[in-house]
Amino acid sequence: MGDKKSAPVSRSIKAGLQFPVGRIHRHLKQRAHSNTRVGATASVYVAAILEYLCAEILELAGNASKDLKVKRITPRHLLLAIRGDEELDRLIKGTIAGGGVVPHIHKTLVNKK
């Protein structure tokens, strides 16, 4: 009669995300303290935040690579994108391997003519 089972739908598809909600939920449970429960919506929320941050950084890095007239995003472009955005610069404090430094010449060193 009605014994047909529908195909399983992942939580990422249900939430409309690209990032793996199930995997993030598993990692949250592993990192939680003993006998601490992790809600089902917590992993969806974390996955959405991570996906948004990655999309934002990749968009800015893509713009940086376009400005330099290359088609491939390198660590240098990621560094320029992160350091160029005030909010991302505050969020991501660490160094990026192979990124170099942000170009800056102090105003007192510039020749005055």
For 33-86, the pLDDT digits (tens) are: 888 899 999 999 999 999 999 999 999 999 999 999 999 999 999 999 999 999
Q: Would you place residue 1 in the very low, low, confident or very high pLDDT band (cuts 50, 70, 90)?
A: low
Which of 14, 69, 65 lies closest to 40, judged by CA? 14
Pairwise CA distance, residues 68 & 71, whole Å: 9
